[in-house]
Structure 1
Amino acid sequence: MEESTGRPTKKKVVVVGGGLVGALNACFFAKRGFNVEVFETREDIRQAKVVKGRSINLALSHRGRQALKQVGMEDKIVSQGIPMNSRMIHSPSGKQSAIPYGKKGQFILSVDRANLNKELLTEAETYPNTKLNFDHKLQDWSAETGQMTFARPDGSEKQINADLIVGCDGAFSAIRKQFLRRSRFNYSQTYIPHGYMELTMPPINGEFAMKPNYLHIWPRNTFMMIALPNLDKTFTCTLFMPFDEFEKITTGDEVIDFFQTYFPDAIPLIGVDALKEDYFRLPGQAMVSIKCSPYHIGDKCVIMGDAAHAVVPFYGQGMNAGFEDCIVFGEVLDQLNEDFSAVLPEYSRVRVPDDHAIADLAMYNYIEMRAHVNSKWFIFRKHVDNLLHVLMPKTIIPLYTMVTFTRTRYHEAVDRWHWQEKVINRGLLFSATGAVLGGSYLLIKNPPDISKLIIPAEKMRDRLVVLWTH
């Protein structure tokens, strides 16, 4: 761990929320020499027998790794993750086909949420200028004075004054409630009509039941299941489906019939009895997308992570975007000499467009994951994009690569993606037109038997693929 900078400032930063982004922020601020206190409503998860909260596995990628690197945590966390080089698509027939995420050597990491949170809290505690407070619920706070009041389990209260309040208390943020009382604060909340349910695929003979270095996907157009590997050789399977579909299944036999129809290869891997039991353990859980702006009030309060931009999990960027918030805020602190009155509005100006962009991309990617990956045209376009990226690495960069393997600003990645789509689609159109015109010229010179000209659409597409990949 790097030492604190030892700067003369002794400003008090209070981080509300001890989750992933809150714990990482504590490290960032402590490293800069601020006095940091973290207040978390829940008990210390490192001592808890059961960790409450979401348990969807996390996919750690470049943005998140860069944030961890800045506090000396990257190597440790990477060593506790499992690399996933490709999507592994499972068809209803049981056929499997891989679609790489990027170039050779590029991968995302399956990491355990609870373990990552514990490691970050432990790291934050190593700084002598950091104090962690658990079982403290925010009661009230003032954006003008920075005074805060927290309720303790014994009924007593703790008051504290902060020079900067950093709200990292999740999608249902208590800090953000005061933002909603302010004029010119924009806020939108959208629940998608799909929920999620987690199932566990145990090891078989002490080994992974499926190939471990993949994010396994069973795309079924209007719903899907995914599976991410864990260090204990299990897979965490997550079924994403419309709530009304979840509600149609009311008995164990109906669960098995449903899986037999749509995920037959998963039944022997999860187990019939386990499926019947786990399906009814919890109902389908909701997923919410939240956008707001600005991210600050005056010079004393800023929100980050899910408190500012909760996103649905389908691009694997929720945690990564939250971690990148820490980097961006640090960059703005450097640019403006830690003057909070200038830093906070500049952070909102810079960060809001990017977080809104990844929220939209996450919504889009659900359609891609559950439906588009079944399309031969989608797979063909992936090959075209990757080929052009190899030939023109600075001109054509696949959207997924920009989002997952670089720190290209999210909104700039979207803009570039739209431009590339126009260019590539026009190129494909011109190539197809050229092929047709060339064929027409040959037909005029050498008219063939008309019956032999009838070519199934699928074969025509295959020929177009060959044309572009050779």
Structure 2
Amino acid sequence: MARETGGERIAIVGAGLAGALLATLLGRRGLAVTVYERRPDPRVAGAERGRSINLAVSARGLAALEQVGLRDQALKRALPMHGRRVHPLRGEVNFQSYSADGTRAINSISRAELNQELLDAAEATPGVTLRFGRKVTGVDADAGLLTMEGPDGPETESATVILAGDGAYSAVRRAVGFDADLDFLEHGYKELTVPARDGDFALDPDALHIWPRGTSMMIALPNLDRSFTCTLFWPKDDLTALDTPAKVTAHFREHYPDVVDLMPGLTGDYAANPNGSLVTVRCWPWVRRGRTATVALLGDAAHAIVPFYGQGANCAFEDCIEIDRCLTEADGHWPRALSLYQERRKANTDAIAEMALDNFVEMRDRVSQPLYRATHAVQHALERRLAGRYVSRYELVSFSTMPYARIPARLRRQNLALGGVTLATGLLAGAAVRAARRRGR
């Protein structure tokens, strides 16, 4: 493909999910793209231990992967989860379907494996160069320069467009001085493992498992090797309080009695795996234009969210698709395209950030309550009865590509309409009863 514009040097900082996808999209436009990543090549070095938080890829992510021909390949390495299997401390384990008809599923995918597939796709795209072991230390948008520490010492690279997909603690965001607020939860996370048992899954592989405990929870997602990746979401003080194997075992026997015996490596994993932080990044603007280069943030660098709706990667993939779309609309003019991109995406990312925070409360507390289960059943009944007119928030977030910012208004409209129908039905029923009574006199 011919070059879309002449003389532009595109730098993407961060070779994670979003950076690799965006590199492929831009390379397919005929642009020369260099991707800089601080880590060694993960296809060689392997994934960081205890840092995965398995992906739950849904409609938005699959639509983005389709754009680069990876949808079917990703699904071959995915396990569908058709609902939540809730493990209360007391009472029976129960299954809560994600969709009203039970057919829709979110997909458990290894973050490391998907990242590797995206890197392979980027590397195979003409015009794309991947450079690992480069830690960005400075950005000068006026001069169009990136400074970084490379394998052999300091390096300086030039660029006219710098796209930062380097995560919630973005080095580019700090170097350029973007105005960002990092809001940390009092909760942290730690990963554990439920290995395969006698060559098979030890838990139901068709579900995302949740152990809700009010102020904390554990979840588990299935892997292709028939293990489960478990993630604790606990107050940080609780994570550090269990400082001996005996304390860890006793705590799990008390709070997770149905799974503790399925975790033979529990105490070793608990000691070896790091504690992670959960942060929401709110930043504006996402674009800064210097004399020579335009810098833009995407993915977690612009809008990191907590993982409780499984939308972090899905949302970042949407950023990449939007940048590509805006480039087309702007006829390849980068400053105009990036201005359109941030204006269109900001409200959507704010909306999903709030929904993700709310879903944490739902997952750690509400899902185990009888009232929630009854409400959930009613919602699904309404979705079946009023197909297309009544749609739950979960369906709109996970199984549609409706812009996140439009979802709250859609829910308000349908609830108002439903309330009006309910009121009218009640009035008519009351009138019918009164008329029958009059006739009976």
TM over 0.5: yes
Match for residue 334 of structure 1?
A: 328
Whole-angstrom distance in 1 between the partners of 2:235 and 2:211: 15
Whole-angstrom distance in 2 between the partners of 1:61 and 1:258: 34
1:190-222 CA-to-partner distances (Å, cap 9, x unmatched) read: 110111111100111100001111101111111
Please state how far the C-alpha of 1:118 moved relative to its aligned partner.
1.0
Please state how far the C-alpha of 1:147 moved relative to its aligned partner.
2.1
1:17-51 CA-to-partner distances (Å, cap 9, x unmatched) read: 11111111110110111101000011111111553
Higher relative contact order (CA 8 A, sep 6+): 2
Cα 1:426/1:243, change in 2 over 3 Å: farther
Q: Does 1:381 align with 2:381?
A: no
Structure 1 unaligned spans of 5+: 444-470
Whole-angstrom distance in 1 between the partners of 2:430 and 2:371: 19
Whole-angstrom distance in 2 between the partners of 1:170 and 1:211: 33
Match for residue 272 of structure 2?
A: 281
Match for residue 310 of structure 1?
A: 304
Cα 1:380/1:425, change in 2 over 3 Å: farther
Q: Does 1:180 align with 2:173?
A: no
SS across alignment from 1:289: strand
Structure 2 unaligned spans of 5+: none
Q: How does 1:94-243 map to 2 (within 5 A)?
A: 95-102=92-99, 103-157=101-155, 159-180=156-177, 185=179, 187-243=180-236
SS across alignment from 1:415: helix
1:122-168 CA-to-partner distances (Å, cap 9, x unmatched) read: 111111211110111213222234222232122142x3322211100
SS across alignment from 2:202: coil
Q: Does 1:18 align with 2:23?
A: no
Q: Is the 8 A contact 1:63 1:320 kept in 2?
A: yes
Q: Is the 8 A contact 2:138 2:175 kept in 1?
A: no
Match for residue 390 of structure 1?
A: 384
Match for residue 82 of structure 1?
A: 79
Cα 1:323/1:270, change in 2 over 3 Å: same
Q: Is the 8 A contact 1:56 1:198 kept in 2?
A: yes
Q: How does 1:56-67 map to 2 (within 5 A)?
A: 56-67=53-64
Match for residue 459 of structure 1?
A: none
- Which segment drifts farther, 99-108 or 73-82? 99-108
Whole-angstrom distance in 2 between the partners of 1:66 and 1:110: 16
Cα 1:94/1:153, change in 2 over 3 Å: farther
Match for residue 9 of structure 1?
A: 5
Q: How does 1:343-354 map to 2 (within 5 A)?
A: 343-354=337-348
Cα 1:416/1:204, change in 2 over 3 Å: same
Please state how far the C-alpha of 1:268 moved relative to its aligned partner.
1.7
Whole-angstrom distance in 2 between the partners of 1:380 and 1:94: 16
Whole-angstrom distance in 1 between the partners of 2:235 and 2:413: 33
Percent of pairs with identical residues: 37
Please state how far the C-alpha of 1:333 moved relative to its aligned partner.
1.4
- Which segment drifts farther, 386-395 or 430-439? 430-439
Match for residue 394 of structure 2?
A: 400
Cα 1:439/1:277, change in 2 over 3 Å: farther
Match for residue 450 of structure 1?
A: none
Whole-angstrom distance in 2 between the partners of 1:118 and 1:206: 26
Please state how far the C-alpha of 1:376 moved relative to its aligned partner.
2.1
Please state how far the C-alpha of 1:429 moved relative to its aligned partner.
7.3
Please state how far the C-alpha of 1:442 moved relative to its aligned partner.
11
Counterpart of 1:281, as a letter, is A
Please state how far the C-alpha of 1:283 moved relative to its aligned partner.
5.1
SS across alignment from 1:341: helix
- Which segment drifts farther, 381-390 or 316-325? 381-390
- Which segment drifts farther, 319-328 or 87-96? 87-96
Q: Does 1:297 align with 2:288?
A: yes
Q: TM-score of the superposition, structure 2-length normalised?
A: 0.91
Q: Is the 8 A contact 1:16 1:40 kept in 2?
A: yes
Residue in structure 2 matching 1:265, options 253, 258, 272: 258
1:391-425 CA-to-partner distances (Å, cap 9, x unmatched) read: 33332211111111111111111222233344446
Q: Is the 8 A contact 2:12 2:165 kept in 1?
A: yes
Q: Is the 8 A contact 1:94 1:264 kept in 2?
A: no
Q: Is the 8 A contact 2:147 2:154 kept in 1?
A: no
Residue in structure 2 matching 1:69, options 56, 66, 69: 66
Q: How does 1:435-446 map to 2 (within 5 A)?
A: none
Q: Is the 8 A contact 1:289 1:309 kept in 2?
A: yes
Counterpart of 2:30, as a letter, is G
SS across alignment from 2:62: helix
SS across alignment from 1:312: coil
Whole-angstrom distance in 1 between the partners of 2:236 and 2:433: 51
SS across alignment from 1:315: coil
- Which segment drifts farther, 218-227 or 102-111? 102-111
Q: Is the 8 A contact 2:139 2:176 kept in 1?
A: no
Q: TM-score of the superposition, structure 1-length normalised?
A: 0.86
Q: Is the 8 A contact 1:168 1:306 kept in 2?
A: yes
SS across alignment from 1:200: strand
Counterpart of 1:396, as a letter, is Y
Please state how far the C-alpha of 1:52 moved relative to its aligned partner.
5.8
1:62-102 CA-to-partner distances (Å, cap 9, x unmatched) read: 11111111011111111001110111111224622111111
Cα 1:206/1:343, change in 2 over 3 Å: same
Cα 1:420/1:356, change in 2 over 3 Å: same
Whole-angstrom distance in 1 between the partners of 2:130 and 2:50: 19
SS across alignment from 2:53: coil
Cα 1:34/1:248, change in 2 over 3 Å: same
Whole-angstrom distance in 1 between the partners of 2:275 and 2:415: 36
Q: Is the 8 A contact 1:219 1:369 kept in 2?
A: yes
